[in-house]
Amino acid sequence: MSHGNKVISIWFFIGALLLIYGILITGAGIHGLAHPPTTEVVLSNLHAAIWWGALLIVLGAVYLYLYAPSRKNRS
C-alpha cells in the first residue's frame, strides 16, 4: 500500500495517529472513572472510551509494526 519503494506507507501514518488517539481516549476514559463528568452520557456505565481507546491502541500498534519503514528496508 505504499508508493514504490521510496515513500513511507500511508498505513504507517494511520497507525501512528491511531496509537496516539487511543492513548488519549483511553486516558480520558480512565480519568473519567476517577472524576465522573457533571453531565453523564447515555450508557456511560459501558465505559466506551476505555475499550474504544484500547481498540485504537491495538489497531495503531499493528499498523505501525506491519508498515514500519525499517521493516520494509529489512525485507
Partner 1 sequence: MHVIPGLFLLPSSRLISLEGVDIAIIAIYFAAVLLIGFYLKGQSRTGDDFFLAGREMTAWIAGLSFLSANLGSLELMGWAAASYQYGILATHWYWIGAIPAMLFLGLVMMPFYYISKTHSVPGYLQLRFGEPSRALSAVSFAFMTVLMSGINMYSMALVMKVVLGWDINFSIWVSSLTVAVYVALGGLRSAIFNEVLQFVLIWLGSLLIPILGLIEAGGWQGLQQRIAHNFNQDYTHLWRTLGSFSANPMGIHWTGIVLGLGWVISFGYWTTDFLVVQRVLAARDLRSAKMAPVIGAGFKMLVPFIVILPGLLGLGVLPMKLVGEGAAVASGGHSYNEVLPLMLARYCGPGLLGLGITALIAGFMSGMAGNVSAFATVWTYDIYRAFMNRKATDAHYVGMGRWCTIIGVLISIGTAYLVMQFQSIMDYVQALFSFFIAPLFGTVLLGMLWKRATPAGGFWGLLAGTLSSIGMWAWVKADPSALRIIALSPDARDMAENMYRGLWSWIICVAVTYAVSMMTAPLPEKSLAGLVYGCTEIPSEGAIPLHHRPAFWAAIVIVVFFALNLYFW
Sole binder of partner 1 in the list 37, 58, 69, 71 (CB under 8 A): 37
Q: Is 28 in the site for partner 1 (CB under 8 A)?
A: yes
| Contact call for residues 16 and 58 (beta carbons, < 8 A) | no
Q: What angle do CA 44, 50, 54 make, to 5 degrees?
A: 150
Q: Which amino acid is at 10?
A: I
Least distance (Å) from partner 1 to the CB of residue 74?
Answer: 21
Q: Is 10 in the site for partner 1 (CB under 8 A)?
A: yes
Sole binder of partner 1 in the list 19, 33, 34, 43 (CB under 8 A): 43
